[in-house]
A = this chain, B = another copy of it.
Amino acid sequence: MSHNIKEIALLAGVSKSTASRVISGKGYASAEVRERVLSVVERLQYKPNAVARAMVAKRTHDIGVIVFRDRQPIVSHPLYGKLIDAILMAAEARGYSVFLKTDQEMSLRSTDYMLERRVDGLILISRLRKNVIDYVKKFNLPYLMVNGSTDDPDVIHLVSNDEEGGERAAAYLHGRGHRKFFVIAGPQEHRSHNLRLTGFRRGLDRFGQIEAAEVVYSSESDFEYGSRLMSAHWEAFARGGYTALFTTNDMLALGAMKVLQARAVAVPGQVAVMGFDNVAYAGMHTPSLTTVRVDTDSMGRDAVDMLDRLIRQEEDLPKLIEYASELIVREST
Contacts and interface: CB of A to CB of B under 8 A. Distances in A.
Interface stretch (A42-50, A183-191, A320-328): A42-50
A126 to B, nearest CB: 16
A106 B164 CA distance: 46
B85 A49 contact: no
Contacts of A97: 99, 117
B280 A76 contact: yes
**Size class of A's contact patch?**
35 or more
Contacts of A45: 138-139
- Chain copies in complex: 2
Interface in A78-126: 81-82, 84-86, 88-89, 92, 97-101, 112, 115-118
Interface in A37-61: 45, 47-52, 54-55, 60
A73 interface: yes
B60 A51 contact: yes
Given A85-B75, A85-B76, A284-B258, A47 B98 contact: no
A21 interface: no
Contact of A284 (B54, B84, B281): B281
A116 B82 contact: no
A2 interface: yes
A115 B47 contact: yes
A285 B262 CA distance: 11
B48 A51 contact: no
Contacts of A75: 75, 81-82, 84-85, 88
Given A51-B55, A75-B81, 5 more contacts: A50-B117, A52-B55, A73-B88, A81-B81, A223-B284
